[in-house]
Amino acid sequence: MRIMGLDFGSKTVGVAVSDALHITAQGIETIQRKSQGKLRQTLARIDLLIQEYQVDRIVLGFPKNMNNTEGERCQKTLEFQRMLEQRTGLEVFLWDERLTTVAADRTLMEGGVRRENRKSYVDRIAAVFILQGYLDSLAFEKNRA
């Protein structure tokens, strides 16, 4: 079974999945939405990806402010978490995603991706960073025990 990582934004959701051994994260796609409130198609697509990749756990980026407070995006993310759990029946873990989008954009810049093309990849790469952070924490806890 695999773990799915999600970077939930106002218009897109970046999606990543782990390998079967939970060592590495790979970006698989960016789901586009026509409007912020329209989540039915997004949830349906995530559900299909869960089946396709045999996912048994979801990690959702939690966008806290830099001072550790929770803003409006956190509330929307919590609502999305509840919808995901209800739709999929899977537990959805929240993961601090501060600076993942910045790191993803920097990675794409350093990789020579042109500015106009970065937007289509940044959420997927951010999802990879979210999931990889979670996977690394699992490995750390396992080695510590």
pLDDT tens string for the chain (145 positions)?
999 999 998 889 999 999 999 999 999 999 998 776 679 999 999 999 999 999 999 999 998 877 777 778 889 999 999 999 999 999 999 998 866 666 666 766 676 667 666 666 778 888 998 999 999 888 777 776 6
Both tokens of 35, joined, read 């409007």
Radius of gyration in angstroms for the set of CA atoms belonging to the chain, rounded to a whole number: 15
Tokens representing 112?
């020579």
For domain 2-144, the CATH superfamily is YqgF/RNase H-like domain (3.30.420.140)
The domain segmentation of the chain, as residue ranges, is 2-144
In a 3-state reduction of DSSP, which class is residue 2? strand
